[in-house]
Amino acid sequence: MPTPPAPPAINGADTAWMLVATALVLLMTPALGFFYGGLVRSKNALNTMMMSFAAMGAVGLTWALAGYSLAFGDGGPLLGGTGHLFLRGVGLEPHGTLPHLLFMSYQGTFAVITAALISGAVVERMRFGPYLAFISIWSLLVYAPVCHWVWGGGWLGNLGAIDFAGGTVVHVNAGAAALVAAAVLGPRRDYGRQALLPHNVPFVLLGAALLWFGWFGFNAGSALAANATAALAFTNTLLAPVATLAVWMALDRLRTRKTTAVGAATGIVVGLVAITPAAGFIGPMSAIVLGAAAAFPSYYAILYRSRTRLDDSLDVTAAHGVGGLLGALLTGVLASAVWGGKDGLLAGDPAQLARQAAAVAATFAYSGVASFALLKLIGAVVPLRAAHRHEGLGLDVPQHGEEAYTSGEGAILVLPDPPTAAGASAPARSPGLAAEVPAGSRA
């Protein structure tokens, strides 16, 4: 997604499409919350969904305050500048054919979802405060530089590596951080000893559906214009996951004789991840090939991972890391200048594959090392993991003071203490409820 040389004027059609695309990408983060939330046990449903929702509050803010400047401000090959700190100089003026503010907002939604993706590796055991600290700092320390390398005029972009909508910047980046985070946090206490089953598979399907819907904004919006390239990326975002879904269902059926719903949702996401770097660079038949091919490594990576002690609980590395890796490399194979981008291996430029590999390797290495250091740093100040007792109880009540599915039985309304009350232990009760419940009885 290279920043085009700036034509002077804002284009109405481009602006209209990108306003919608920005909203679509923002929707992906709550959608991810439903996808992840359905996959965990009911006692952790709210905590898991909040990890995605809260990323909007945390990373959305760091992006506006500093992240955008570090990623897209004028700077060197490694990092953007400080020129746009606090959105200084980001206003109504054109950036390409878009208002500069809109470009900043659009990119902000990418930063948010990238950070939220990592949460799938640490669910059901990481404390919420350290998680917020981690993704906030991570968005500045890891996401902004990598984004700058590829899209902001940094060294990977200059090297000629191409990434249409974020195969490396978003998915390899988040996948590497997730791998490291799962290893640093360690497995859940019940991992490998009990069956840890998804508590709401319809939520998983709902999340996958909304992710796909939002992904049209993610990929087709990365054209940054309402043009033919956007239509190409849109078509590929339709066709690649279709192929992945078909292959995934077939693999499921061959292995277990059943086509699973959780598998179908996973297959859709893997296909979306894989087409992301290639969306505006390859033809539609190539997208089908890419989507079909993407199913295999992720499918078997998930099977392999679940037999190890690495509790990447919701398989962020297998889906996003491996899927992003495959997509980025196949972009270097299938890309063709006929479709408006560059030539890849099959179109006569084998060096493009090497450039793609370099971008993946650099992103994986930097994200892995920096995420490790950041988690260790935060872990030295506060514990990363919830207490054993809280892990057994589920994190919803200890971390958020709420339950996802409460019957309300046994709940007693606490009215505010009257200022003259003698003891703090005697809050007024709603008379109706107090009559039903043996309140205050102690064994």
Partner 1 sequence: MKLITAIVRPEKLSAVLEALFKAEVRGLTISRAQGHGGETERVETYRGSTVKMELVDKVRLDIGVSDPFVQVTVDAILRSAHTGEVGDGKIFVLPVEKVIRIRTGDEDLAAVTPATPAM
CB of 324 closer than 8 Å to CB of 312: no
The distance of closest approach from Cβ of residue 187 to partner 1 in the complex, given in angstroms and rounded to an integer, is 16
d(CA 227, CA 193): 53
369 versus 413: smaller Cβ distance to partner 1: 413
Q: Per CB under 8 A, does 393 bind partner 1?
A: yes
Window 34-93: residues binding partner 1 (CB under 8 A): 43
Alpha-carbon gap, residue 298 to 100, rounded angstroms: 37
Nearer to partner 1, 307 or 442 (CB): 442
Q: Which residue of 65, 412, 421, 428 would you call a contact of partner 1, by CB under 8 A?
A: 412
**Binding of partner 1 at residue 403 (CB under 8 A)?**
yes
Residue with Cβ nearer partner 1 (137 or 397): 397
Does residue 441 bind partner 1 (CB under 8 A)? Answer: yes
For residue 265, count other CB atoms closer than 10 A to its CB: 26
How many amino acids of this chain bind partner 1 (CB under 8 A)? 26
**Burial state string for 31-58 with b = 16 or more CB within 10 A and e = fewer than 16:** bbbbbbbbbbbbbbbbbbbbbbebbbeb
Which of these ranges, 111-119, 156-164, 304-312, 398-406, lies near partner 1 under the rule CB under 8 A?
398-406
Q: Is 343 exposed, middle or buried (0-12, 13-18, 19+ CB in 10 A)?
A: middle
Q: Is 197 one of the binding residues for partner 1 (CB under 8 A)?
A: no
Q: Which is nearer to partner 1, 92 or 443 (CB)?
A: 443
Stretch that binds partner 1, among 69-77, 119-127, 365-373, 431-439 (CB under 8 A): 431-439
Q: Taking the mean position of all CA atoms in its chain, how far away is CA 54? A: 12
Least distance to partner 1, CB of residue 430, Å? 10
Among 8, 401, 423, 431, indicate the residue that binds partner 1 (CB under 8 A): 401
Using the contact rule CB under 8 A, the part of the chain among 139-147, 290-298, 322-330, 412-420 near partner 1 is 412-420
Helix axes 322-334, 284-305, angle to 10 degrees: 150
| 411 is an interface residue for partner 1 by CB under 8 A | yes
Residues whose CB falls within 8 Å of the CB of residue 396, separated by 6 or more in sequence, listed in order: 43, 44, 45, 46, 47, 402, 403, 404
Q: Does 437 bind partner 1 (CB under 8 A)?
A: yes
Cα(219)–Cα(165) distance, integer angstroms? 5
Binding residue (CB under 8 A) for partner 1 from 389, 422, 423, 424: 389
- For the bound state, the minimum distance from the C-beta of residue 439 to partner 1, rounded and expressed in Å, comes to 6
Q: Which of 175, 146, 167 is nearest to 71 (CA)?
A: 146
d(CA 35, CA 49): 9
**Smallest gap from residue 303 Cβ to partner 1 (A):** 24
User: Does residue 392 interact with partner 1 by CB under 8 A?
Assistant: yes
Which one of 158, 194, 256, 308 is in contact with partner 1 (CB under 8 A)?
A: 194
Tokens of 86: 């606090």
Residue 274 carries which side chain, given as an amino acid letter?
A
Contact region with partner 1 (CB under 8 A), list: 1-9, 130-138, 324-332, 385-393: 385-393
State which residue, 12 or 192, has the beta carbon closest to partner 1: 192
439 contributes a contact to partner 1 by CB under 8 A: yes
HSE-up of 93 (CA within 13 Å, CB side)?
8
Residue 357 binds to partner 1 (criterion: CB under 8 A): no
* Sign, CA torsion 424/426/432/437: positive
Candidates 101-109, 222-230, 247-255, 434-442 — which segment interacts with partner 1 by CB under 8 A? Answer: 434-442
Token couple for 190:
């019940």
The pair of structure tokens assigned to 131 is 């998680």
Q: Which residues pair with 94 in a beta bridge?
A: 99
Contact stretch for partner 1 (CB under 8 A) within 11-19, 54-62, 306-314, 411-419: 411-419
Q: Of 15, 190, 206, 242, which one interacts with partner 1 (CB under 8 A)? A: 190
> DSSP label at 420?
T
- CB of 402: closest distance to partner 1 in angstroms? 6
Site membership for partner 1, residue 414 (CB under 8 A): yes
List C-alpha distances in Å: 430 to 407, 412, 422, 433, 440.
Answer: 18, 7, 19, 6, 14
Please report, as ranges, the residues that interact with partner 1 according to CB under 8 A: 43, 190, 193-194, 389, 392-394, 397, 401-403, 406, 409-414, 427, 437-439, 441-443
